[in-house]
Amino acid sequence: MTTQRGSCHCGSVAFEVEGTPAGATSCNCSMCQRKGVLMWFIPRDALQLKTPDENAGTYTFNKHHIKHRFCLKCGIHPYGEAHDPKGNPVAAVNIRCLEGLDLDKIPVTPFNGRAL
């Protein structure tokens, strides 16, 4: 299995995940549309932080179910944390923050987050 390395722009928030995204989600909610993230959902325990958790800030809004994590130095949003409908912890990795990934080869599915 392939190890994907990712980080914010300055490297203060860095992580690794096993696997390769087969697809990504583009959400049109007020937050995701502004950030321009392409999310790859994985089990939270598949995301291994390589830098201290304290390097990432947390932003929540609306129902406060999703922890949007961002670098306190450069402001990039490399991942988010939440729970799936069954209550399992998940991470939404911003595939734009993964090293060496050809984004043109990843199919993107739109999600209507504005309707939530």
How many CB atoms are closer than 10 A to CB 15?
A: 22
H-state helical runs in 25-87 = 30-35
The yes or no reply on domain 3-115 and CATH 3.30.460.20 is: no
What is residue 106's DSSP assignment? Answer: S
Query: Where do the structural domains in the chain lie, given as residue ranges?
Result: 3-115
Instruction: Identify the H or E element spanning 41.
Output: strand 39-43
**Predicted pLDDT of residue 34:** 93
Q: Can you give the pLDDT of all 116 residues of the chain as single tens digits?
A: 789 999 999 999 999 999 899 999 999 999 899 999 999 999 999 999 999 999 999 999 888 889 999 999 999 999 999 999 999 999 999 999 999 999 999 999 999 988 88
**Predicted pLDDT of residue 62:** 84
In whole angstroms, how large is the CA radius of gyration of the chain? 13
Torsion of the alpha carbons at 80, 47, 22 and 39, rounded to the nearest 10: 10
Whole-prediction pTM value? 0.93
**Predicted pLDDT of residue 64:** 84
What is residue 66's DSSP assignment? Answer: -
